[in-house]
Structure 1
Amino acid sequence: MIKKTLIAVGALLILFPTMAFAEDPSAAQLNMGLNALWIMMAGVLVLLMQGGFILLETGSTRMKNAGHVAGKTIFTVGLCSLVYWAVGYGFTFGGDAGEVLNKFIGIGSFLFEPGLAAGEGENYPSSIFFVFQLAFAAVSLSIAWGGFAERAKLSVYLIFTVVFSAVIYPVIAHWIWGGGWLAADGAQDFAGSTVVHLTGAMAALAATILLKPRIGKFNKDGSVNEILGHNQVYTALGVLLLWVGWFGFNAGSWLAVGDGFFGFVAFNTQLGAAGGAVAAMLIAWMLTGKADITSMLNGALAGLVAITASCAYVDPWAAVVIGLIAGVLVFFSAKFFEKMKIDDPIYALSVHGAAGVWGTLANGFFATEELVTKVGIGQPGLFYGGGAQQLWVQFESVVVCGAFAFAAAFGVLWIVKRMFGLRVTEEQEIIGLDLSEHGSYGYPEQMKKTGMSA
Structure 2
Amino acid sequence: MREVAVGDKLDQYEITKLIARSGMASIFEAKDTVSGQAVALKVPHLQFESDVVFFERFKREEEIGQRLDHPNIIKFLKPRHKSRMYMAMELVEGKSLRKLMEEEHPLSTARALAIAQQICEALEHMHKHGVVHRDLKPENVLITPTGQVKIIDLGIALDKSARRLTWFGLSATIGTPDYIAPEQIGGRRGDARTDIYALGTESRGCPATSCRASTLRSRPYCSRPSSGTRAIVTRRPPSCSMTCAIPRQCRPVIRSRAPANGEDGAAFLAASPCRCWSSPSWAHWHRSSGPPAAIHRRAARPRRSGRDDMEQSLNLAWVLIAGFLVMFMQVGFAMVETGFTRAKNAVNTMGMNLVIYPIGVIGFWLVGYALMLGGVREWPALGAAVAGEHEVAIHVGGHLLGLFGAAKFALVSVAHEPSSLAMFLFSTVFMDTAATIPTGAMAERWRFASFIVYGLFMSMFLYPLYGNWVWGGGWLATLGVSAGLGHGHVDFAGSTVVHMTGGVTALAGTLALGPRAGEFRRDGTVLAMPGHNLPMTVAGTLILAFGWFGFNAGSTLSASDPRIATIAVNSMLASATGALAALFYVWSSLRKPDIGMACNGLLGGLVSITGCCAFVAPAAAALIGTVAGLLIASSVVLLERRLRLDDPVGAISVHGLCGTWGAIALGLFADGTYGSGWNGVEGPVRGLLFGDVSQLGAQCVGILANLVFVFPVAYGFFRVLDRIIGNRVQPEVEWAGLDSLEMGSDAYPRT
Is the shorter-chain TM-score for this pair beyond 0.5, marking a shared fold? yes
2:712 corresponds to:
407
1:116 corresponds to:
416
| Distance in 2 separating the partners of 1:232 and 1:409 | 31
Show the 5 A alignment for 1:23-422: 25-95=305-375, 96-100=390-394, 103-113=402-412, 114-118=414-418, 125-185=419-479, 186-339=488-641, 340-373=643-676, 379-386=685-692, 388-422=693-727
Amino acid corresponding to residue 720 of structure 2 in structure 1: I
Amino acid corresponding to residue 689 of structure 2 in structure 1: F
Amino acid corresponding to residue 345 of structure 2 in structure 1: N
Cα-Cα RMSD: 1.7
| Distance in 2 separating the partners of 1:222 and 1:108 | 53
1:443 aligns with 2:748: yes
| Distance in 1 separating the partners of 2:570 and 2:749 | 43
1:15 corresponds to:
none
Structure 1 residues 254, 158: CA separation in 2 closer, same or farther (over 3 Å shift)?
same
| Distance in 2 separating the partners of 1:310 and 1:226 | 36
| Distance in 2 separating the partners of 1:117 and 1:212 | 46
| Distance in 2 separating the partners of 1:98 and 1:310 | 28
Q: Secondary structure at the match of 1:213?
A: coil
| Distance in 2 separating the partners of 1:259 and 1:157 | 40
Amino acid corresponding to residue 527 of structure 2 in structure 1: N
Residue-by-residue CA offset, 1:68-102 (whole Å, 9 max, x unaligned) = 11122211210110010000000001122344386
| Distance in 2 separating the partners of 1:380 and 1:117 | 35
Structure 2 unaligned residues grouped into runs of 5+: 1-302, 376-389, 395-399, 480-487
| Distance in 2 separating the partners of 1:411 and 1:424 | 19
| Distance in 1 separating the partners of 2:324 and 2:562 | 20
Identity over aligned pairs, percent: 39
- Larger relative CO (CA 8 A, sep 6+): 1 or 2? 1
1:7 corresponds to:
none
Shift of 1:398: 0.7
| Distance in 2 separating the partners of 1:243 and 1:317 | 19
> Which deviates more, 373-382 or 257-266?
373-382
**Contact 1:313 1:375 survives alignment (8 Å):** no
Aligned length: 418
Residue-by-residue CA offset, 1:154-208 (whole Å, 9 max, x unaligned) = 0111111111111100001000000000000111110011000010111111111
Amino acid corresponding to residue 213 of structure 1 in structure 2: P
| Distance in 2 separating the partners of 1:370 and 1:293 | 36
**Contact 2:401 2:478 survives alignment (8 Å):** no
Residue-by-residue CA offset, 1:120-140 (whole Å, 9 max, x unaligned) = xxxxx2111110000000000
Shift of 1:259: 3.7
**Contact 2:372 2:405 survives alignment (8 Å):** yes
Shift of 1:117: 4.8
| Distance in 2 separating the partners of 1:115 and 1:38 | 20
| Distance in 1 separating the partners of 2:392 and 2:661 | 34
Shift of 1:385: 1.4
Q: Secondary structure at the match of 1:103?
A: strand
| Distance in 2 separating the partners of 1:375 and 1:283 | 38
Amino acid corresponding to residue 263 of structure 1 in structure 2: A
Amino acid corresponding to residue 438 of structure 1 in structure 2: M
The two structures have a TM-score, normalised by structure 2, of 0.54
Amino acid corresponding to residue 71 of structure 1 in structure 2: G
| Distance in 1 separating the partners of 2:552 and 2:579 | 18
> Which deviates more, 317-326 or 24-33?
24-33
Q: Secondary structure at the match of 1:341?
A: coil
Shift of 1:291: 1.0
| Distance in 2 separating the partners of 1:55 and 1:321 | 28
| Distance in 2 separating the partners of 1:331 and 1:36 | 39
Q: Secondary structure at the match of 1:52?
A: helix
**Contact 1:83 1:162 survives alignment (8 Å):** yes
| Distance in 1 separating the partners of 2:515 and 2:341 | 14
2:202 corresponds to:
none
**Contact 2:393 2:404 survives alignment (8 Å):** no
**Contact 2:674 2:685 survives alignment (8 Å):** no
| Distance in 2 separating the partners of 1:348 and 1:417 | 22
Q: Secondary structure at the match of 1:371?
A: coil
Residue-by-residue CA offset, 1:353-374 (whole Å, 9 max, x unaligned) = 1111111100111001122328
> Which deviates more, 365-374 or 23-32?
23-32
Structure 1 residues 99, 399: CA separation in 2 closer, same or farther (over 3 Å shift)?
closer
Q: Which has the higher helix share?
A: 1
Q: Secondary structure at the match of 1:181?
A: coil
Shift of 1:263: 2.1
Structure 1 residues 350, 259: CA separation in 2 closer, same or farther (over 3 Å shift)?
closer
Q: Secondary structure at the match of 1:421?
A: coil
Structure 1 residues 263, 115: CA separation in 2 closer, same or farther (over 3 Å shift)?
farther
| Distance in 2 separating the partners of 1:135 and 1:110 | 18
Structure 1 residues 259, 140: CA separation in 2 closer, same or farther (over 3 Å shift)?
closer
Shift of 1:24: 8.4
**Contact 2:393 2:403 survives alignment (8 Å):** no
The two structures have a TM-score, normalised by structure 1, of 0.89
Amino acid corresponding to residue 127 of structure 1 in structure 2: L
Amino acid corresponding to residue 727 of structure 2 in structure 1: L
Amino acid corresponding to residue 33 of structure 1 in structure 2: S
Amino acid corresponding to residue 358 of structure 2 in structure 1: G
Residue-by-residue CA offset, 1:217-249 (whole Å, 9 max, x unaligned) = 111121111101000000001111111110111
Q: Which has the higher strand share?
A: 2
Q: Who wins on radius of gyration, i.e. which is larger?
A: 2
> Which deviates more, 287-296 or 359-368?
287-296
Amino acid corresponding to residue 648 of structure 2 in structure 1: P
Amino acid corresponding to residue 433 of structure 1 in structure 2: L
Shift of 1:116: 3.1
Q: Secondary structure at the match of 1:104?
A: strand
| Distance in 2 separating the partners of 1:55 and 1:76 | 14
**Contact 1:312 1:375 survives alignment (8 Å):** no
